[in-house]
Amino acid sequence: MSKVPVSKLPMVGVLFWTIKIVATTLGESVSNFVSMAPLNLGYATSALLFLAAFALTLTMQLRTDRFRPVVFWSVILTTSIVGTAMSDFMNRTAGLGYAGGATVLTTLLVLVLIGWRATGQTMDVERIATTKGEILYWTATLVSNTLGTSSGDFLSDGLGIGFRDSALVLGGAMLLILAAHYLSPISGTVLFWAAYVLTRPLGAVAENAVEKPVAQGGLGVGTTITSGALLAVLAILVGYQQLTHQKQTVTLEGPRAEGQADQRPEAAPWR
């Protein structure tokens, strides 16, 4: 009997969103650490280095046969890091500006999602079980994480709202999406992608609010300490997910016959 394809993406719940925000926030900090102070490699050089890291982690993810938390979140982290560098290059070096960069990337993300829908591949991320669907997912993720930096910068600097107030605005938007999930008939897939995109600028402005100097509206903690603290939190959360996922896999696979469909241990709260 042939095996049924198994989704290599995680269940969407509180732990997913927590790790997503931490990972994308760390991505902002690591990118700043390399492209600006203290390494000062510049946006273009940093973007090329991070693209190589993204390609490596993505290759590992595509070659896995099931959901592996460490690999999956490594790809999320590298998309966030390279997205920050590419966004900064577009907006600052290439001269698009925050509004211009956000507009271009928003348009690109809409086109990616429309193209995804046109392929007939499922957009329910808990049901993606084909290589084509996974590539579409990671393409949308890379664009959304690049957009997140631009939109976060546009809010905090372009509109002059500041880092902390921008974080409050984005946090409020996330709460509205959560309320819409439970109280409205809006498609869960639509709400998922709205929240998925917003976690990136939320992480970006939150990181800047901690890292940047006081004169720029931050707390002045710096990129080194911020990156180290976020990395420690991310490692703990992913380690926890790894342990719980291993226990759930052992429980489910014990009596399962070859070819039986994969059964998720949790109810999907985002549909």
Whether residue 266 has pLDDT greater than 70: no
Tell me: pLDDT of 59 over 70.
yes
Q: Which of 266, 12, 268, 8 is nearest to 129 (CA)?
A: 8
- Alpha carbon of residue 39 to chain centroid: 24
Least confidently predicted of 30-34, 238-242, 247-251, 257-261: 257-261
Angle, to 10 degrees, between the axis of helix 223-253 and the axis of helix 69-88? 150
Q: What is the pLDDT of residues 80-129, one digit of tens each?
A: 999 999 999 999 999 999 999 999 999 999 999 999 999 999 998 989 99
Greater pLDDT, 20 or 216: 20
Q: What is the pLDDT of residues 146-189, one digit of tens each?
A: 998 899 899 998 899 998 899 899 999 999 999 999 999 998 88
Whether the pLDDT of residue 260 is over 70: the answer is: no
Is the pLDDT confidence value at 271 over 50?
no
d(CA 47, CA 44): 5
Domain boundaries defined on the chain = 14-249
Q: Of the given ranges (19-23, 125-129, 239-243, 252-256), which has the lowest mean pLDDT? A: 252-256
- Residue 254's pLDDT band (boundaries 50, 70, 90)? low
Alpha-carbon gap, residue 202 to 174, rounded angstroms: 9
